[in-house]
Amino acid sequence: MCFTTGRCNISGKYHAKLESLQKELLQRTNGTVEYNDIADEIYRLREEKQNVLPEYS
pLDDT, position 21:
95
Q: Is residue 3's pLDDT more than 70?
A: no
Report DSSP letters for the chain, one per residue.
--SSHHHHHHHHHHHHHHHHHHHHHHHHHTTTS--HHHHHHHHHHHHHHHHHGGGG-
Neighbours of 38 (CB within 10 A): 20
Q: What is the pLDDT of residues 12-49, one digit of tens each?
A: 889 999 999 999 999 998 888 899 999 999 999 999 98
Specify whether the CB–CB gap between 17 and 48 falls below 8 A. no
Q: Please give the model's pTM, rounded to 2 decimal places.
A: 0.70
